[in-house]
Amino acid sequence: MLDLLAKLVSIRSLSREEHACADFVESWARNAGFRPKRIGNNIVFELGGGPRRLMLNSHIDTVPQCSGWLADPWTPRLADGRLTGLGANDAKGCVAAMLLAARELEEQGWDGPGTLVVLISAEEEIGGESGIQLALSQIEPVEAAINGEPTGLAPCNAQRGMLLLNCHSQGSSGHAAHAHALGLENAVHSAARDIVRLSEMQFEPYEGIHVSRPQVTVVSGGLSHNQVPDNCDFQVDLRTTPNLDHDATLEYIRGQLECEVRCRSMRYMPASTAADHPIVRAAVAASGKQTYFSNTCSDWSLYGGIPTVKLGPGESERSHRPEEFILATELEQGVRVYRDTVLGYFGEVGHV
């Protein structure tokens, strides 16, 4: 079990550089008795054969190496029941658990009332167009999905989306000593007023408790200490909840600010699945844990409305940090929870 994860971690697979890791997954799937199909650096295979289709999806790409690693991040280290390495937690642990769960079902001769689609995708960390959206466009539709991300094996049935804005304040340049006399408009001052407005802005809570607040994350303006700046640009990151419409939210923000507001991205829509949906019920039963709301977004946002539960071994707080790790016990539990969720889901919907 850890051997598979160690091999995945040992293959450098930054976003858009997943070719070698995809090669390995494709070869592993073929050797396990599946018939994998390659779509770019995405690998998909199926088992079962009934008309109801459930997808297991996670990603093989990772973020770049950050500072603070104590050893080579692509040399997996196993000690004290944990495997340390870049991507071990996010999300190659999920990938390994999904592959092993599928192999268990195959070895047990599972030929249930549905089809299990295992899709291991690329470019999740950058939202690349050659990742999950490309793959989904080239396979038969699925009715439900499990999105593999480190959730502590607690099923997430709602997650935030992401609305990114580029804002521009226009002023008039001149000598700083004459700014007031000439009535110059300082673009940084104008931007600052808007930034304060954004810091005070909040939107209708989701389920009464989950509030969305804009965050200004990048500011750039001014050329010299003695020159009134005529331009100031800043970026806004708003993590939205399922009750917010991105277009309406964008127009509201535009109406509250002095600056020009342009949408940089609204691809990552918030997502939710009803607590009584069969995929959620199956995940709750398999994990023994209750559902929760996730503040992070994932490829689930790009599934196009497929009822989904986000679920996987590992903890989100370990992601994108030095000395990233996953516990062997978490991986073992992940295999079981994925397998039992698949069986529970098809046990409910397979005869409908």
The alpha-helical segments, DSSP class H, found in the chain are 2-10, 19-31, 93-107, 132-136, 179-182, 187-200, 246-256, 278-287, 328-349
Taking only the tens place, the pLDDT of each residue in 124-180 is 999 999 999 999 999 999 999 999 999 999 999 999 999 999 999 999 999 999 999
Q: How confident is the model at residue 1 (pLDDT cuts 50, 70, 90)?
A: confident
With 0-12 / 13-18 / 19 or more C-beta atoms within 10 angstroms meaning exposed / middle / buried, residue 285 is middle
Q: What SS3 state is found at 228? A: strand
Pair 29, 36: CB distance under 8 Å: yes
Residue 351, pLDDT above cutoff 70:
no
* Radius of gyration for the alpha carbons in the chain, expressed in angstroms and rounded: 23
Q: What Cα–Cα distance (Å) separates residue 196 from each residue in 169, 193, 260?
A: 14, 5, 16
Mean pLDDT of 51-76: 97
| Domain formed by 2-159+270-349, architecture | 3-Layer(aba) Sandwich (3.40)
Q: How confident is the model at residue 99 (pLDDT cuts 50, 70, 90)?
A: very high
CATH 3.30.70.360 positions along the chain are: 161-267
DSSP code per residue over 322-342: TT-EEEHHHHHHHHHHHHHHH
Taking only the tens place, the pLDDT of each residue in 240-283 is 999 999 999 999 999 999 999 999 999 999 999 999 999 999 99
Q: How confident is the model at residue 112 (pLDDT cuts 50, 70, 90)?
A: confident
Q: What SS3 state is found at 110? A: coil
CA 311 from centroid of its chain's CA atoms: 12
- Sequence-ordered list of residues with C-beta below 8 angstroms from that of 135, at least 6 positions apart, any chain: 39, 40, 42, 44, 119, 121
Percent of the chain with pLDDT over 70: 99
Q: What SS3 state is found at 111? A: coil
* pLDDT at site 350: 76
For residues 46 and 37, give the distance between their C-alpha atoms in angstroms, rounded to a whole number.
9
Residue with tokens 């549905």: 114
Q: 101 preceded by cis ω (within 30°)?
A: no
* pLDDT at site 100: 99
Taking each helix axis from N to C terminus, what angle separates 93-107 and 2-10, rounded to the nearest 10 degrees? 140
The type of residue at 261 is V
Average per-residue pLDDT in the chain?
A: 97
Taking only the tens place, the pLDDT of each residue in 43-54 is 999 999 999 999
pTM: 0.92
Pair 221, 231: CB distance under 8 Å: yes
- The residues with which 42 forms a beta bridge, in sequence order, are 39
CATH 3.40.630.10 positions along the chain are: 2-159+270-349
CATH code that applies to domain 161-267? 3.30.70.360
